[in-house]
Structure 1
Amino acid sequence: MRKILIIGATSAIAEATARIFAARGDALFLVARNAERLQAIKADLDLRGAVRSATATLDVADFSAHATIVDQAERELGGLDTVLIAHGTLSDQGECEKSIDALRREFDVNALATMALLTLLASAFEARRNGTLAVISSVAGDRGRQSNYVYGSAKAAVTAFLSGLRQRLAKANVNVLTIKPGFVDTPMTAAIANKGTLWAKPERVAAGIVRAIDKRRSVVYLPWFWAPIMLVVKLVPEAVFKKLKL
């Protein structure tokens, strides 16, 4: 039985992942902003087989509240061995180009909040010398594109942070997993009308996350085909890349 903290638990990917954990009889501590939605998810997970579940609300941009939430999760579950950080917003690129406040807000949520939480969790897991820290980054962090380079930059920062953290914690038997989804059909992307063959359902991504955690993977692209796609994208010369509309 795993004792799992999920931050951003009301996101479609996190909820689908939690359902798999619940069906396996794991214990879950769910954190998000929307208390009513958290309670609905908790009730569903209890019916699916979660051996224990509890919830707490958190605005991840309130950095002063992070330690309290982590402590509460430890108390409720009797310790932690797995964390999934899944919160995030899809930045309004146009707004961020015009407003420094919007730019800072997006980095606070999509990058700095994740790093701050990991800083707290890493020390605890390092002392325990066991566990998994899994974080949803994005393929958008592999190379900046004009259509979403603010979001991509935040995810790139998270990916680099996780790489260094993984190297640090490896000697303590703590696995750090970087999860890089491609296009996922969720409420966050509902405004995007034309969803083609590259789009995946949250359930498919969730199954990949659980497999990667079980296998103690370091980096996983979900679905798998995003790994070769992003390799090609990264190899495009800058002289060519500047002329593309991506």
Structure 2
Amino acid sequence: MPTVLLLGATSDISVAIAKEFGAHGYALQLAARNTEHLSPIQSDLKIRYNVDCTVHAFDALNYDSHQSFFDSLPVKPDVTICVFGVMYEEEDAWNDWKLTHRMIDTNYTGAVSILNIAAKYYSAQKKGTIVGISSVAGERGRQSKLIYGSAKAAFSAYLAGLRNKLFKDNVHVVSVKPGFVYTKMTEELPLPKPLTAQPEEVAKAVFNAVEKKKNTIYTKWMWKYIMLIIKNVPEPMFKKMNI
């Protein structure tokens, strides 16, 4: 039975991914800072899919604990999926360095810390898969996603470099750029329905990308072309735009 490790397992997207992999017979390792929130998720997954499902304490910002966390896993995962992240209001982050720092450290530094560890293990084993949930917000710097977007841009670049580094070791790295998703984090936002995915859509896209060894995926295909247009707006024009 293959095993998948979900880092940040309390989010709506992560729960949907766990269900998708559980439905395909994967054993599940759920990792999060607040493990008490994982108990009902664990119970539901065990009953629903009759698979092994374990809970593990993991703090993305406690970098010194990451190696011991990974070493303590009773079974090393075949697939490691980094789902955790945080997004504050950009204006709040602009005016509060603590929020800026936390967005950068959660969305980039913490992710790199734990994925470096998983990557070295997979490299030695000459097999394994890493999935990182990044964002279309990282494809071009914009004032509306100044801090969040820059952190996700760094994460996307890291995943691309990791994919290049680990290819020779038969380790696959998937970059996921979902676009808008209906979750608790976005429930207050007026999201455009045609461009917004359900967590279940993201989960199916992730599983398919792992199975078919895809490199970079967009949950809604339109985002690939939307971002292509945005990236190709000339800078003299782009800097005047309010986006």
For residues 33-52 of structure 1, the C-alpha deviation after alignment (integer angstroms, 9 at most, x for no partner) is 22222111111111122521
TM-score (norm 2): 0.96
Give the one of 192, 199, 208 matched to 2:205: 208
Give the one of 100, 112, 115 matched to 1:103: 100
Corresponding letter in the other structure for 2:217: V
For residues 184-236 of structure 1, the C-alpha deviation after alignment (integer angstroms, 9 at most, x for no partner) is 01001112135432111111111111101111111111122211111111011
1:59 aligned onto 2:59: yes
Give the one of 157, 161, 165 matched to 1:160: 157
Which residue in 2 is equivalent to 1:151? 148
Which residue in 1 is equivalent to 2:131? 134
CA 84–9 in structure 1, closer or farther in 2 if over 3 Å, else same: same
1:100, CA displacement in angstroms?
Answer: 2.3
1:95, CA displacement in angstroms?
Answer: 2.0
Distance 2:143 2:194 in 1: 22
Is 2:87–2:148's contact at 8 Å kept on the other side of the alignment?
Answer: yes
1:182 aligned onto 2:208: no
Distance 2:180 2:240 in 1: 23
Give the one of 223, 227, 230 matched to 1:226: 223
Is 2:180–2:191's contact at 8 Å kept on the other side of the alignment?
Answer: no
1:119 aligned onto 2:119: no
Which residue in 1 is equivalent to 2:25? 25
Could you tell which deviates more after superposition, 136-145 or 216-225?
A: 216-225
Is 2:103–2:148's contact at 8 Å kept on the other side of the alignment?
Answer: yes
Could you list the runs of 5+ residues in structure 2 that have no partner in the other structure? none
User: RMSD between aligned alpha carbons?
Assistant: 1.2
1:22, CA displacement in angstroms?
Answer: 0.9
Is 1:141–1:152's contact at 8 Å kept on the other side of the alignment?
Answer: yes
For these two proteins, the number of residue pairs brought into alignment is 243
Is 1:24–1:50's contact at 8 Å kept on the other side of the alignment?
Answer: no
Is 1:23–1:50's contact at 8 Å kept on the other side of the alignment?
Answer: no
Give the one of 83, 86, 89 matched to 1:86: 83
1:66, CA displacement in angstroms?
Answer: 1.1
Distance 2:206 2:54 in 1: 22
Distance 1:209 1:9 in 2: 15
Corresponding letter in the other structure for 2:61: A
Is 1:4–1:26's contact at 8 Å kept on the other side of the alignment?
Answer: yes
Is 1:91–1:150's contact at 8 Å kept on the other side of the alignment?
Answer: no
SS in 2 for 1:197: helix
For residues 60-99 of structure 1, the C-alpha deviation after alignment (integer angstroms, 9 at most, x for no partner) is 11111211221222x1xx2221001000011321122122
1:191 aligned onto 2:184: no
Is 1:28–1:50's contact at 8 Å kept on the other side of the alignment?
Answer: no
1:140, CA displacement in angstroms?
Answer: 0.4
TM-score (norm 1): 0.95
Give the fraction of aligned pairs with identical amino acids, expressed as a percent: 39
Distance 1:2 1:157 in 2: 30
